[in-house]
Amino acid sequence: MTETGILVSRRTRAPVNQQEMLSTAIRGGVPERLYTEGMRSIFHVDMDAFFVSVEELYDPSLIGKPVVVGGAADQRGVVSAASYAARKFGVHSAMPLRTAYQLCPQAIFVEGHPERYRKYSNLVKEVLQQFTPLVEMASIDEAYLDMTGTERLHGPPLLAAHKLHNAIKAATALNNSIGAGSSRLLAKVCSDQAKPHGIVWIPPGAEAAFLAPLDVRKIPGVGKVTEQKLHRLGIRQVGDMAALEPKFLAEHFGQWGLALGGKSKGLDAGGWFQGEIGEEQDPKSISHEHTFSIDTAEADALEAALAHLSEKVGRRLREHGLWARTIQLKLRYSDFSTFTRALTLSHATQIDTEIYQTARDLLRKNQRAGAPIRLLGVHTSGFSHEAGQLDLLDGAQHERMGKALNAMDKLRDKYGEMSVSLALGMKGRFKERTHEALPNDGKPKK
């Protein structure tokens, strides 16, 4: 073990980052007898530049070039992922595409291929499940593994992580980074430090020493706003935060402050990280939204868009076998001011027209007359697994409607999205070009 108790192992010598400075690379192999002794052992696996790397598999001519995944350079939208070559020009995820184009006009802009990413994500998942059944995909390109008690099978954490890293690479040809430690939070922070193409393990007892010198922003859940607030209080590094009285943090940040205190010590405190790994859960909300390519105040166009969004939401509810009681409309005007208006029904629904009519009424009631709208959204929550109390007559109607919608879903599967549609029959039509939503590739650095 090194002085700080931090072990880093890098598979290649090529990309070196500042992590190299504060840790000692293990050259020539992996220590054989470092055990976790009854501690939880959590891994976090994060794919390196995932979307870009998958695109490169399908088109090797992209390798080494500046590539931006997210859409055309003149589209309304943001960068989902940027290749390392594009990042050199200052392009990063969550940046407007138009800005990325200003910074790097020679970049290759691609819309992206969600089905390819899903395919590779599933391949990765299969590999992970060979190591432990306790796998939780946290998003399309990252996962948590509970490796506690697997040492006899896979060896100590660092060795197991190397095997895992190689197995993923062998199955997908994709690079990945792995963090390992005694909590989800530790594992997550470690995988970030390991990037790109590395492994970081924090042995039990070394948590505080590892976290202390890191910027507070490195703690998952600390974004721009919390960072600024912490800075104003003179708290810049995780160690500063760990040294504070919980009372002080609670005074300035409420409940969230107490969670922050725990996180600064490497604990899975607060909402995000609670719960065991590998338990499938029902979603708590299902929503769709759309930003128009040109802002519009035209009622027919707005209502057709709302119908389209309602159908997408209804369909997803039926796929999950969920009924929603609360329907929420989201509105955004040209000046980016954003409003939500919700209504909770007396019963739960998964019927497109009911969702649509509720959202449309909310729109008519709350719309600023004549003001062009940039974005509309339909959001549902308050789920149950049944329709809930309806009187007998309504209940029978509901059931027939449900069957009809399931038949429509099957038609859509077979003949495409536009074969059966509420929105299609409407005056305004919904003619906007849409593509499947891509997540973005983590928080922009600095």
Q: Which residues of the shown chain bind DNA in the complex (CB under 7 A)?
A: 76-78, 80, 93-94, 96, 98-99, 102, 138-142, 188, 220-227, 254-256, 259, 270-272, 283-291, 312, 316, 325-326, 328, 335-336, 338-344, 374-375, 377, 382, 437-443
Least distance to DNA, CB of residue 291, Å: 3
Least distance to DNA, CB of residue 140, Å: 6
| Nearest to DNA of 134, 143 (CB atom) | 143
Least distance to DNA, CB of residue 156, Å: 26
Q: Of these residues, 56, 142, 207, 354, which one is catalytic? A: 142
**CB neighbours of residue 103 within 10 Å:** 17
- Any catalytic annotation for residue 245? no
Least distance to DNA, CB of residue 374, Å: 7
The whole-angstrom separation of Cα 172 and Cα 50 is 11
| Nearest to DNA of 151, 289 (CB atom) | 289
| Nearest to DNA of 155, 257 (CB atom) | 257
The whole-angstrom separation of Cα 8 and Cα 27 is 10
| Nearest to DNA of 150, 177 (CB atom) | 177
| Nearest to DNA of 156, 179 (CB atom) | 179
| Nearest to DNA of 154, 341 (CB atom) | 341
Q: Do the Cβ atoms of 314 and 378 come closer than 8 Å?
A: no
As a three-state string, the secondary structure of the chain is CCCCCCEEEECCCCCCCCHHHHCEECCCCCCCCCCCCCCCCEEEEEECCHHHHHHHHHCHHHCCCCEEECCCCCCCCECCEECHHHHCCCCCCCCEHHHHHHHCCCCEEECCCHHHHHHHHHHHHHHHHHHCCCEEEEECCEEEEECCCCHHHHCCHHHHHHHHHHHHHHHHCCCEEEEEECCHHHHHHHHHHHCCCEEEECCCCCHHHHHCCCEHHHCCCCCHHHHHHHHHCCCCEHHHHHCCCHHHHHHHHCHHHHHHHHHHCCCCCCHHHCCCCCCCCCCCEEEEEEEEEEEECCHHHHHHHHHHHHHHHHHHHHHHCCEEEEEEEEEEECCCCEEEEEEEEEEEECCHHHHHHHHHHHHHHHCCCCCCEEEEEEEEEEEECCCCCCCHHHHHHHHHHHHHHHHHHHHHHHHCHHHCCCHHHCCCCCCCCCCCCCCCCCCCCC
Least distance to DNA, CB of residue 367, Å: 13
| Nearest to DNA of 246, 254 (CB atom) | 254
| Nearest to DNA of 299, 342 (CB atom) | 342
The whole-angstrom separation of Cα 119 and Cα 149 is 30
Least distance to DNA, CB of residue 21, Å: 23
Least distance to DNA, CB of residue 56, Å: 19
CA distances from 378 to 201, 219, 339, 425 (A): 43, 32, 12, 20
Annotated active-site positions, please? 142
